[in-house]
Chain A
Amino acid sequence: KQEVTQIPAALSVPEGENLVLNCSFTDSAIYNLQWFRQDPGKGLTSLLLIQSSQREQTSGRLNASLDKSSGRSTLYIAASQPGDSATYLCAVIGTSYGKLTFGQGTILTVHP
């Protein structure tokens, strides 16, 4: 059974810092990996999708890497802003009927 772990569970940083969120998964037989952002009580917004054949994906200040063999992904946020405050969720898309398995999330707070 696939298990996804995100570290740290919570992170509080001052504005302007570069930061790293970590995601690990137990079964490397994945199709893709997707990072989401969730604001309190709101829906999930897709940030980045990394296909299993890719090593990384970039969008603006966000960069996500994937090392499938070691079961790890990293989300890098450059020059953090208060508007980045949210919960960040990592989800792996399995090879079995495309099931999405989520980590518990990292709660990020960026203070001015």
Chain B
Amino acid sequence: EAQVTQNPRYLITVTGKKLTVTCSQNMNHEYMSWYRQDPGLGLRQIYYSMNVEVTDKGDVPEGYKVSRKEKRNFPLILESPSPNQTSLYFCASGKNYGYTFGSGTRLTVV
């Protein structure tokens, strides 16, 4: 089954403790992207990657890092999480032919 898999689904952490949210796709897509969703602000792009070793900032990249060492994986890294990064995060892959989204990661930073 074609899918985008994110882990974990839920995460509660403390301010400053580094964390990684993993994302993997099995559709051989070149393009992958991370979004965060907040009430009243909608979905906003954090980072995107057009291919292996090619990444760029989206609209709200501050406080986040990404890497793309393999085509199927695109992890999101929060080096020093802060409470304003509490949000629902989505990974997506695809591009002009349409996007497939993961099930989301609900992150709470206390």
Contact = CB atoms under 8 A, between A and B. Distances in A.
A52 B3 CA distance: 25
A105 B96 CA distance: 21
Contact of B104 (A34, A42, A100): A42
Contacts of A46: 98-101
A42 B106 CA distance: 10
Contacts of B103: 42-43
Given A43-B104, A44-B90, A102 B99 contact: no
Interface of B: 31, 33, 42-43, 45, 48, 50, 56, 58, 88, 90, 92, 95-104, 106
Sorted nearest first, the 3 A-B pairs with minimum C-beta distance are: A98-B95, A49-B98, A44-B101
Residues of A contacting B: mostly: strand
- Give chain A's interface residue range (CB within 8 Å of chain B): 20 to 34
29 contacts: A31-B96, A32-B97, A32-B98, A34-B98, A34-B99, A36-B101, A41-B88, A41-B104, A41-B106, A43-B90, A44-B90, A44-B92, A46-B99, A49-B97, A49-B98, A89-B43, A91-B43, A91-B99, A93-B98, A98-B31, A98-B95, A98-B96, A99-B58, A100-B33, A100-B92, A100-B99, A102-B43, A103-B42, A104-B42
